[in-house]
Structure 1
């Protein structure tokens, strides 16, 4: 298995688990928070816009002046500025807090987010403010190694919810027993992408996810 980045391993080592308690491992951007809504506001303030031609960020973030895409070497620093400025103020996804509150009565909810470590505390504050005060793991790279490490610690069934297909592929490879649920909160973004090839289910809302997770993990 690929090694966990040290900061991710340290965060997981700091968690406590109840053996056998089902895990609900949930992404944040476009799952708990409307990432694209916030990004559009951020881009507008910089005379940029999102083209909505595909699911990818690269090639779709364009300059209003000439409609040219932002150069690849400028995209990473631009997104780092976005996370620094906007993470704490992203709008929560409809129904997420209520669903997770209900599921947490029997399951253990963990937020596994590829938020930069520099924005981790901002994300934690946003989760708290919107009624989703669950442990947060700031990950980097594909999520399979982190999910496999969590499953090894918990020795329990688990569900994984994420919007990015390659994260489902990574989890399928390294933690195949995990139930993989594909969810994209923004309907404009969801329309650009079919169900992830390596997911078990695609859901369209948090009420749907809540029912699926409760049934799969026997939480009713």
Structure 2
């Protein structure tokens, strides 16, 4: 597979090997903890009472919940500065590198492509030498377009169940893994429902992936 960062994936070459597609925020890179720290440094706090950023960000000045538009603005500012705040989960790079013996790896991040190059630099700093797509489109649509000519055996990993559902709807034969590493975050998340399966860490996810590839090889 061609190794480059692209906006939508048109320049990627998909081969015949199984394809492992992996989300970035809170899957490869830590998101919740650094975003909380970023907010506090900028006069806000994230109090997760529901599985959403909207409605859970408060102003430290007056304790009020901030409007969704302000949350979006803070998130964009965080992504502008992501290289100063985000670090990978300890096992992510090693696990993905180990899995390249059975699959090609592609990173698919849900963010405006304007942040793509900063994300690429951040990932490269920590040794993630995998192709990267940044798109705000539904992930199922992105992957259906990417795999339409030579659809490989597809495994998809994401912390958001709605992204797993999007992929399952567009590519029913794909294995979708709902990876929820943070215990507190997992407790608030929607219950993982079939056809997706839940994984609680990278070791767990790797075992599921290897078993699936072996059973479907």
Q: TM-score, normalised by structure 2?
A: 0.90
User: Contact (CA 8 Å) 2:25, 2:31: kept in 1 or not?
Assistant: yes
Pairs aligned (count): 212
Paired residue for 2:197, among 198, 201, 211?
Answer: 201
1:122 partner SS: helix
Stretches of structure 2 lacking an aligned partner (at least 5 in a row): none
Cα deviation for residue 153 of structure 1 reads: 3.9
RMSD: 2.1
Structure 2 contact 107–132 (Cα < 8 Å) conserved: yes
Q: Which of residues 30, 40, 47 is equivalent to 1:44?
A: 40
CA–CA separation in structure 2 for the residues paired with 1:88 and 1:13? 30
The CA deviation at 1:10 is: 6.2
Consecutive unaligned residues in structure 1, runs of 5 or more: 1-7
Write the distance in 1 (CA, Å) between the matches of 2:181 and 2:83. Answer: 16
DSSP-derived class of the 1:13 partner: coil
Q: Partners of 2:65 and 2:85 in 1: how far apart?
A: 26
Alignment of 1:20-39 (within 5 A): 20-39=16-35
Distance change >3 Å, CA 199–CA 186, structure 1 → 2: farther
Aligned to 1:63, which of 56, 59, 65? 59
Partner of 1:72: 68
Please, what TM-score do these two structures have when normalized by structure 1?
0.89
Q: In the TM superposition, what are the counterparts of 1:112-131 in structure 2 within 5 Å?
A: 112-131=108-127
Whole-Å separation in 2 of the counterparts to 1:211 and 1:76: 36
- Kindly indicate whether residue 40 of structure 2 is the aligned counterpart of residue 54 of structure 1: no
For 1:205 and 1:54, the matched residues in 2 are separated by 21
Assess if the C-alpha contact under 8 Å between 1:11 and 1:137 holds in 2: yes
> Who is 2:96 aligned against?
100
8 Å CA contact retained: 2:44, 2:60: yes
Q: What is the match of residue 17 of structure 1? A: 14
